[in-house]
Amino acid sequence: MSVIKNYIYNTLYQILTIIIPLITMPYLTGVFKPDQMGLNSSSLAVVNYFMLFGLLGMQMYANRQIAYVRNDKNKLTKTFWSLYAIQICTCLLSLASYYVFIYIVVPEGIRIIYLIQGINILASLLDISWLFMGLEDFKNVVIRNTVAKVAGLISIFVFIKDANDLNLYILLSAVILIASTVLMWIHVPEYVGKILIDTKIIRGTIKPLIRLFIPQIATQVYELLAKPMLQLLSTTDQVAFYDYAYKIVKIILALVTSIGTVLLPRISSIIGEGKKHEVAGIIQKTFKFVTYLSMPITVGLMSVAKPLVSWYLESSYSYVGDLVSIMAVIIIAVSWANIIGVQYLIGTRQEEKYTVSIIISAVANVIMNIILIKYLGAFGATLSLIAAEFIGIILQFVFVRKQLPVVAMMKSVLKYVVVAAIMGIVVSFIGGIIANPFMANIVQGIIGVVIYVGILFVIKDEVQQEVIERVILMIKKK
């Protein structure tokens, strides 16, 4: 399946992941209090660490290894079952460790929340999405995840009625996640033969798996640790504010980074075929494309954040708008890092450089959190997150400067910065003169797209022209 088709499938799914929280978030903030949502977020952050230890970087590593051998069914079968055998063992160990942890550390009054959250680790044990991603069969992954997402959406409105349903909400979320992983097993026999485990593959997997796990755990430090630190150094309300701001930004960010999810197996496959010289050209082109998308999305979200939150969430969550308007800048850094760090450095087996950039970023994030959260709460955690993301991508640029034309790449995207800034000025002005925030957002969105696309059309931007040409070609084929 082509990269374009995979990108479309993945992007359609990312759009769904945007729509569903847009529907559920206002409902949940109306049902549950900020401290309840903060407890859900902080407990889920803890279980996510154990899920991370259970997977040990398997998602990224297995995705790449499957891509290397996908044209040989015997090798594919041995690779799949050997890697999955490792995943079963590590996830079971993680599950046992988690329940020991909560009985020793978690206060009895909230222990039931953590007990239910632990079910999510079983979803990690069953998750084989890396098989289909490595095979570049995103259609199966998207369809099954879509079914699970829609089922979860319906269940929230059917079963969650008041603040007493927090435990039920957490249970439903975990069960739906497990269901989505189980559904993926239906198509495994189409690609993989009967169980065949190769001990050589297992022995050869441990070291590279750990090398990939180190940067993943470091990344999670500043993605997840902020919430427990906010609860410890600030208040539960601040956890909820930060969590919702981060969710809104991540929802939008998913649209841009979906191209990276599609690109990693393709780059790995190209390297496996001995065509490494083609990789640099693909990276340069993709970098330009994600910048074309990320600049207007970043500036647009910064401009519409406050009116958006004022009608989208309950009034008690209004501070989220201030956080989103600042946090939105990580979209640029994460988009670039997804191409340079994940797709290029990991795709070309330069995990050590990627690991160094992530560890330094994580250390900087923790230090800044300790200093800032006590005095600034969620705002301090937001500043720490922004600093960490930009430190990471700057280091990655330094590491690849002799392999990729970094300076030329940056110069080629300056026009997107300028055009997005012009768009942002106009969009912000519109938000200030329209009293109704909902109507303001609609007008801001329309005008923003017209300005950005219009200016680039006038100056004949090659990326936009190619996008338009491909869309027209796809419509004609249909």
**Looking at residue 101, what is its pLDDT?**
93
pLDDT at residue 86, as a whole number: 92
pLDDT above 60 (res 211): yes
Residue 60 has pLDDT above 80, yes or no: no
Q: Which pLDDT value is given to residue 380?
A: 93
Q: Helices 226-233 and 351-376, interaxial angle, to 10°?
A: 20
What is the pLDDT at residue 48? 85
The 10s digit of each residue's pLDDT in 28-46 is: 878 888 788 888 888 888 8
Q: Please state the φ and ψ torsions of residue 419, each to the nearest 5 degrees.
A: -65, -40
- Euclidean distance between CA atoms 350 and 354, whole angstroms: 7
Please give the pLDDT value at position 271: 55
Is 17 a residue whose pLDDT tops 70?
no
Give pLDDT, residue 386.
94
Number of neighbours of residue 30 by Cβ within 10 angstroms? 10
Q: Average pLDDT, whole number, for the chain?
A: 84
Domain residue limits, the chain: 1-214, 225-478
pLDDT, residue 96, reads 95
Q: What average pLDDT does range 350-354 have in this prediction?
A: 85
What pLDDT score does 345 carry? 86
Mean pLDDT, residues 407-423: 92
Q: Mean pLDDT over residues 137-163, rounded?
A: 82
pLDDT band at 1; cut points 50, 70, 90? very low
Q: What is the pLDDT of residue 234?
A: 82
pLDDT tens by residue, 388-402? 999 999 999 999 999
Pick from 56-65, 325-334, 426-435: least confident:
56-65
Check whether 268 has a pLDDT greater than 60.
Answer: no
| Predicted pLDDT at 364 | 92
Transcribe 129-189 into DSSP letters.
HHHHHHTT-HHHHHHHHHHHHHHHHHHHHHH--SGGGHHHHHHHHHHHHHHHHHHHGGGGG
Rounded distance, CA 377 to CA 23, Å? Answer: 28
Asked if the model's pLDDT at residue 264 lies above 60, the reply is: no
Pairwise CA distance, residues 257 & 238, whole Å: 27
Distance CA 199, CA 162 (A): 52
CA dist., res. 269 & res. 271, Å (int) = 5
Output DSSP code: residue 119: T
- 139 versus 84: the higher-pLDDT residue is 84
pLDDT in tens, 231-263: 888 877 888 889 889 888 887 887 776 655 555
* The length of the chain, given as a count of residues: 478
- For residue 40, the model assigns a pLDDT of 86
**Can you give the pLDDT at residue 474?**
65
Rounded Cα distance, 294 and 249, in Å: 12
- For residue 4, the model assigns a pLDDT of 58
- Average pLDDT value for residue range 352-356: 88
Q: How far lies 231's CA from each of 240, 303, 378, in Å?
A: 10, 29, 10
Range with the largest mean pLDDT of 212-216, 344-348, 365-369? 365-369
- Label residue 5 by pLDDT band (50, 70, 90): low
